[in-house]
Amino acid sequence: MEKSINNKVKIHEITRITPFFSSTAEFSFPLTLFDTYWFKFHPIERLFFCLSHVALRCRKTSHLLLPKDGVSVTVAESNTDFNYLCGNAIHEAVEFLPLTPLTSQLSTSDDKAAVIAIQITMFPNEGFCIGISTHHIIFDGRSSVMFMKDPTGIDMVFINNWLAFTVSDTNPNKRSLKSLPSFVDLDNLVQATFVLTCEDIKELRDNILSVLDKVNGNEVKKFDKLHLSTFVLTGAYVYSCMVKAKGAENNRDVLFGFTADYRKCLDLPIPMNYFGNCVGTRAMVAKTRDFMEETGVLFVAEKLSDMIKELEDGLTLEGFEEKLVKLMPMMKSVAQGAQGLGVIGSNRFDAYKSDFG
């Protein structure tokens, strides 16, 4: 780690932006099974760093607010090294927390939950950062990015599973809308950006095919059956490294997979600009030994390849609830000590094309 900083911000103002229209009529809309799947999930947080030559200007945007409601907007200032925070070096995860809206600004209670909170942090003479925290029951990754670019009842199958997951003796209220806390302690986490070149990807592909050839021997090759995309190769390599870095540790369970945008995968046509949740999880549980052996990277690549091929073959909504419900115990296993490995978001969302001025 190159250096660590004590990132503190000075909050100038916290305000609530309310709808511009004068109507007092209340309205609501039903949640889909894709929404309720994320019913108690902890908030999604994104940071957008912008250079100072980009001017903040107000524009007319879509209004998704309810009467008597509003969005919390925080304006803050930081003297931290802007370029350091934007760089690829290893950072302690807590260094970015002051740039996200305070937890109290995305408040949840037993009967009400805020949908979105925004914080704008200025770095004098350098740039600014827009931090957005959203409730996952309304936004998936694509919807969150679409918002930044231009800024019949609940399905009880998933609600009941979330209740079984979260209700305890200390929180007996089964109707509470409070989100789950994060499964991990940010004080013990770091984050960094790693860049894999085309040559790195080619070497990974060659290594996997070499191991596959060695494993198969004279048997029929599986070369053509593997989906060795850049995503699969990178995921297989990173997941294997992360498990090995943590050690065998009594052959613990490892939950791994990725989230996928289902807009293109379902048998029913869903437009790409659909605003809401249309994302699902492809995941499985394996044992540490599966990653630790010489064939560890190949093992993960084969599993990720199978998951992607299922998406390419298309998904039907028939029996979909039952499939999603089976994922709930997997998520619970992470809270109980299993190692969780996943990928969220996508470069296909074109988040870097967000225009703030």
What burial class does residue 214 get, using C-beta atoms within 10 Å of its C-beta: 0-12 exposed, 13-18 middle, 19+ buried? Answer: exposed
pLDDT band per the 50, 70, 90 thresholds, residue 237: very high
Give tens-digit pLDDT for 295-339. 999 999 999 999 898 888 877 767 666 766 677 677 667 767 788
Tokens 């199978």 belong to residue: 306
Q: What is the pLDDT of residue 349?
A: 64
What are 48's strand-pairing partners? Answer: 130
In CATH, the number for domain 194-351 is: 3.30.559.10
Q: Transcribe 84-132 into DSSP letters.
A: HHHSSS-EEGGGGGGGSPPGGGG-B-SS-B--EEEEEEEETTTEEEEEE
- pTM of the entire structure? 0.58
pLDDT value of position 153: 32
Q: Give the pLDDT confidence score for residue 69 in this predicted structure.
A: 60
Domains 9-186 and 194-351 share a fold: yes
Using 50, 70 and 90 to split pLDDT, how confident is the model at 82? Answer: confident
Residue the block writes with tokens 């039903």 = 30
In the numeric block, the tokens 């089964």 are attached to: 174
Whether 66 has a pLDDT exceeding 50, the answer reads no
Q: Which helix (H) or strand (E) holds 239?
A: helix 230-246
Nearest alpha carbon to residue 276 among 133, 83, 98, 136 = 136
**What rounded mean pLDDT belongs to the chain?**
73
Q: In this model, does residue 348 exceed pLDDT 60?
A: yes
Measuring CA to CA, how many Å separate 341 from each of 212, 226, 242, 284? Answer: 24, 21, 8, 10
CB 158 within 8 A of CB 31: no
Quick check: helix, strand or coil at residue 344?
coil
Distance CA 134, CA 80 (A): 25
List, in order, residues 6 or more apart from 232 with CB less than 8 Å away: 226, 301, 304, 305, 308
* First-residue to last-residue Cα distance in the chain: 34
User: Class for domain 9-186, per CATH?
Assistant: alpha beta
Which pLDDT belongs to residue 306? 92
Reported as a single tens digit per residue, the pLDDT across 129-155 is: 888 887 766 666 666 666 555 553 334
CA distances for 155 relative to 67, 114, 280, 329, angstroms:
25, 20, 16, 18
**Cβ–Cβ under 8 Å, residues 79 and 124:** yes
CA–CA separation, 193 and 246 (whole Å): 19
Q: Report pLDDT for 149.
A: 56
Ordered by start, the domain boundaries in the chain are: 9-186, 194-351
